[in-house]
């Protein structure tokens, strides 16, 4: 089992590593957000990728999500923990709190959201869009650190880059959604297509814009909360790494077999170019 960590806003590298090396990986789907950090700690090898690049150079819609997921797959990752800063729609999720997301509502637009196409049609199931097993492992890791984490909640993926209007924010709150961010989709869907176990650790940084008496989501407030809490996010990640099993168990949630019955086009019709590109992420079924 090899863990990939996608660091979101505020998490651009990891500390306390025994060894680490930044390496460039190119993919059939373009370049990832940055080089990948191949690292070793607690006797486990893992890979880290800063989603917005070091120095936070990329807006959510400028991120090449396909290349990021493909690069982590090429790097040998079997599981991905994605860390994301989020606004909260719930009184029970205050700035500084952590949530393990189990559902997403995707309101992003115009992003490349599939590896399929170009003559090979594939449709994966997204009913349970992330890995319950990995989520529980992260919850256990958090428990060992003593950091409270809510296990389960819905993440609204908005297009951005501007934050929600008050009307949008209230609508999402009334709909019972829990947090809002700009990056977990199509990342989660692409991880599923690449047969990777995927979970989102959401770090609540603000109340978004539904509270009358407050000015609404603002980067200065978000960055302040993020800086105060990124150390706790790192502690959860470290506890997870320290408990990683040496070999990957067959995923009880089925993420590692997501493509088993997903491809509709018969193999004799697969265009060679598309097949070659898909090998980066779907070699197991593409051959
Ligand atoms: C810096 S505030 C908005 C920014 O923060 C979140 O990033 P990430 O999900 O990568 O932690 C949000 O999605 C926006 O990209
Ligand atoms: N309120 C918010 N909306 C969208 N993305 C965010 N990232 C952090 N806080 C956010």
Q: Is the pLDDT of residue 203 over 80?
A: yes
Alpha-helical (H) ranges within the chain are 65-74, 132-145, 166-174, 184-193, 219-242, 272-286
Q: Is the pLDDT of residue 1 over 90?
A: no
CA of 8 to the centre of ligand 1 (A): 6
Q: Is the pLDDT of residue 248 over 80?
A: no
Establish if 192 belongs to a structural domain: yes
Establish if 285 belongs to a structural domain: no
Q: Is 208 annotated as a binding residue?
A: yes
Listed residue (97, 86, 74) closest to 4, CA to CA = 74
Establish if 23 belongs to a structural domain: yes
Q: Which of 63, 82, 85, 157 to mutate to test the pocket of ligand 2 (most atoms within 8 A of CB)?
A: 85
- Span 70-94, mean pLDDT? 98
Listed residue (53, 100, 62, 27) closest to 278, CA to CA = 27
Establish if 287 belongs to a structural domain: no
Predicted ipTM of the assembly: 0.99
Q: Is 33 annotated as a binding residue?
A: no
Q: Is 70 annotated as a binding residue?
A: no
Q: What is the pLDDT of residue 15?
A: 85
Establish if 286 belongs to a structural domain: no
Distances (CA, A) of 150 to 135, 200, 238: 11, 12, 18
> Does pTM top 0.80 for this prediction?
yes
Q: Is the pLDDT of residue 247 over 90?
A: no
Domain hosting residue 168, numbered range? 3-279
Establish if 214 belongs to a structural domain: yes
Q: Is the pLDDT of residue 64 over 80?
A: yes
State the total domains in the chain: 1
**Mean of the per-residue pLDDT values of the chain:** 96
Protein residue with least CA distance to atom 7, ligand 1: 9
pLDDT tens for 8-21 read 999 998 888 889 99
Q: What is the pLDDT of residue 16?
A: 83
- Span 158-171, mean pLDDT? 98
Q: Is the pLDDT of residue 88 over 80?
A: yes
Q: Which of 208, 211, 219, 223 to mutate to test the pocket of ligand 2 (most atoms within 8 A of CB)?
A: 208
| 182 Cβ below 6 A of ligand 2 | yes
What residues are labeled active site? Answer: 206, 208
For residue 266, the domain's CATH number is: 3.40.50.1580
- DSSP class of residue 94 equals -
């Amino acid at each position: 089992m090899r863990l990939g960590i996608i660091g979101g806003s505020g998490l651009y590298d990891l500390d306390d590593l025994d060894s680490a090396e930044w390496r460039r990986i190119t993919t059939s789907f373009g370049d990832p957000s940055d080089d990948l950090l191949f690292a070793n700690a607690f006797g486990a090898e893992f890979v880290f990728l800063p989603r917005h690049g070091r120095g936070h150079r990329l807006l959510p819609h400028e991120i090449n999500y396909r290349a990021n997921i493909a690069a982590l797959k090429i790097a040998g990752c079997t599981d991905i923990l994605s860390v994301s800063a989020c606004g909260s729609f719930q009184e029970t999720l205050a700035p500084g709190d952590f949530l393990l997301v189990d559902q997403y509502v995707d309101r992003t637009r115009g992003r490349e959201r599939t590896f399929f196409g170009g003559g090979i049609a594939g449709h994966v199931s997204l009913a349970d869009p992330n890995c319950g097993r990995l989520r529980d492992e992260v919850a256990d890791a958090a428990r060992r650190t003593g950091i409270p984490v809510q296990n389960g909640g819905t993440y609204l993926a908005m297009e951005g880059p501007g934050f929600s209007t008050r009307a949008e924010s209230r609508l999402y709150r009334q709909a019972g959604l829990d947090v809002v961010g700009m990056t977990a989709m199509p990342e989660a869907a692409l991880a599923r297509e690449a047969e990777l176990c995927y979970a989102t650790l959401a770090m609540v940084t603000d109340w978004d814009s539904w509270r009358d008496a407050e000015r609404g989501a603002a980067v200065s407030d978000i960055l302040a909360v993020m800086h105060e809490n990124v150390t706790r996010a790192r502690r959860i990640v470290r506890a997870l790494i320290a408990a990683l099993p040496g070999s990957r168990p067959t995923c009880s949630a089925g993420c590692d077999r997501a493509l088993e019955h997903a491809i509709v086009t018969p193999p004799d019709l697969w265009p060679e170019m598309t097949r070659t590109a898909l090998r980066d992420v779907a070699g197991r079924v593409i051959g």
